[in-house]
A and B are shown apart, each in its own frame.
Chain A
Amino acid sequence: MSLYDKRRAETRRAASIFLAPVIILMLIYIAYPIYDSFNISFFRWNGITAGRAFIGIQNWLDLMRDSSFWASFKNNVVIMILSIVIQIPIGLALATFLDFGGKKLNVFKVIWFVPLLMSSVAVGFLFRYALATNGGLISTIFGWFGGGNIDLLGDPNRALLTVIMVICWQFIPFYMVYFMAAYTNISFDIYEASIIDGATRGQYFLNIALPLLTPAMKSAAILSMVGSLKYFDLIYVMTGGGPGTSTELMATYMYKQSFKNFNMGYGSTVACGMFILISLMALITMRLLNSGKED
């Protein structure tokens, strides 16, 4: 009995020593900041001077009525939906192509992968120039087919869609390698057996691979969803949220409020609102997807 207790105490001590660095860092850089953001959201504070005024839930009331915030939330949702609808099928198609084609298609894999290696800042700047009205990539290609110059990022009606296309350009390779990994988890025997039984590759894909890939597609959808809702760098660099609020996102709005207008109290409120919305949507989606599993 005492030996058992001694061993348990020893395990507990070892566990806390091994876990201490990770826990301390996460407390300092994740847990405390979350608490502090909620705390700051009840103040009016410019972030520079020490003086800050407690204003209760005023910031939160403002947030509820802030049409710019809700416009950016809407943009996030549009990006989320189109990202899932565009990136996952194309990523899956590319992975399927590579899976069927085997090693000889390596060139495709290598080049398709390149966008994923570039930083969002580089992608953002590159496309700012590539999408320029005069002398841009798309305008030039349009010109070959007899079209004129086209203003993709400056037109409020087109900007969001243009930005989404760039996001897809950057992240489709991610879903491609994701589904390539999922394919390697399907045993080769299954493929062989189905081909011997006379299935075409199309039948194999539709009736065998696709059902086996469903779990991977679900987690890809969750990844894409959470990613789209907290999206920041690329858009901040490429459009800065403009023109107007046409490509404004929750994160870019939060950044501008806090570090451009030095309205840190309200910026914290936006960050907290964003945190709450993302957590809620992630929880609900996971519930829905998991309840589907039990059927």
Chain B
Amino acid sequence: MDSVRDSKNKSTFAWAIAFVFALIWLAAAFLPFFFMVLNSFKEKFEMLVSGVFNLPESWYPTNYIEILTGTFWTFFFNSIIVVGISLILLLFISACASYPLARFKFALAKPLYGVIVACMSIPIHITLIPVFKMATYTGMYDSIWALIGPYIAFAIPISVFILTTFVGGIPLEIEESAEIDGCNKYRMFFSIILPLAKPGLSTIAIYNGVNMWNEFSFAYTLTQSAGKRTLPLAIWEFQGQYSMNTPMIMAVLTLTVMPMIIMFIVFQDKLVKGMTAGAVKG
């Protein structure tokens, strides 16, 4: 009896220590975010005078008003357009590709799948100069259209990987009976595979949506003027104008981060699941 109680005490003790560490990490994860939001409501010099953690004297909304009545929305809608178009095309073509890779018997299926999946570890930097070159030659440089191709191409490997696994897990019986009824491969794809693959599609939509929304390297290289850039790059525009105005910069950052935070609050479980599924490769 004693030993049971002993181990129970020991485990509550261990649990208490774990809890303390959990709280420390909670502070570490939250403080920078708190710092950003809190100081975004201060006036230009207030932060320097009153210290970082003091509540603003009055919640000063002018930073936000100034940003939201300015170019912010151009960046925002550019991001919406690029991510929207890229995602729709990506979902469709990677679903197309995963169907034969999961189901058809042909000699190239395995090696092709291997090559596509291996492309996951390719650093984008080796493609940066040639893609930049292509964008200037085709006249797409400095427009949001230049981003769509690379965004889709670099999202293909992980998407095909996840979807092929997913399609492979759909029970064969449905297709077999459809085939006996004379359904050809194209109709099979559109009326059976595509609807059944919805959960897999929503996973890759979330995973790639977050990544594309936050993408930096291609957006920074392939666009130049403020009106053509995506939301993560908005900060450069404001930084030039308000370099000494830290609260203003914090307000811009808060606004660029907000869309994702709102998405997270609305679709919390789905988002966590999507981010994880994207992570589990092999």
Contacts and interface: CB of A to CB of B under 8 A. Distances in A.
A112 B96 CA distance: 36
Contact of A15 (B29, B93, B106): B106
B81 interface: no
A59 interface: no
What secondary structure prevails in chain A residues at the interface with B? helix
Contacts of A264: 129
B59 interface: no
Given A14-B104, A126-B36, A181-B277, A21 B93 contact: yes
Contacts of B131: 29, 33
Given A127-B32, A129-B246, A15 B125 contact: no
B182 interface: no
What secondary structure prevails in chain B residues at the interface with A? helix
B213 A119 contact: yes
Q: Chain A interface: which size bin?
A: 35 or more
B21 A140 contact: no
B35 interface: yes
A99 to B, nearest CB: 12
A57 interface: no
Most buried by A among B35, B153, B250: B153
Given A22-B116, A125-B249, A259-B221, A282 B264 contact: no
Nearest to A93: B21
Most buried by A among B26, B101, B121: B121
Contact of B96 (A19, A113, A115): A19
Interface string B94-106: 1011011100111
Contacts of A230: 123-125
Contacts of B276: 177-178, 180-181
Interface stretch (B48-56, B60-68, B169-177): B48-56
B121 A278 contact: yes
Interface string B24-37: 01101111110110
A233 B217 contact: yes
Contacts of A207: none
Most buried by A among B123, B221, B268: B123
B110 interface: no
Interface stretch (A61-69, A156-164, A269-277): A269-277
Contacts of B100: 14-15, 18-19
Interface stretch (A130-138, A147-155, A238-246): A130-138
A274 B126 contact: yes
A251 B279 contact: no
Interface of B: 7, 10-11, 14, 18, 21-22, 25-26, 28-33, 35-36, 47-48, 51-53, 93-94, 96-97, 99-101, 104-106, 108-109, 112, 116, 119, 121-134, 149-150, 152-154, 156, 160, 185-186, 189, 210, 213-217, 221, 232-233, 235, 239, 246, 249-250, 253, 256-257, 260-261, 264, 268, 272, 275-277, 279-282
10 contacts: A25-B93, A26-B116, A30-B154, A33-B127, A34-B127, A121-B232, A135-B51, A232-B216, A233-B216, A271-B126
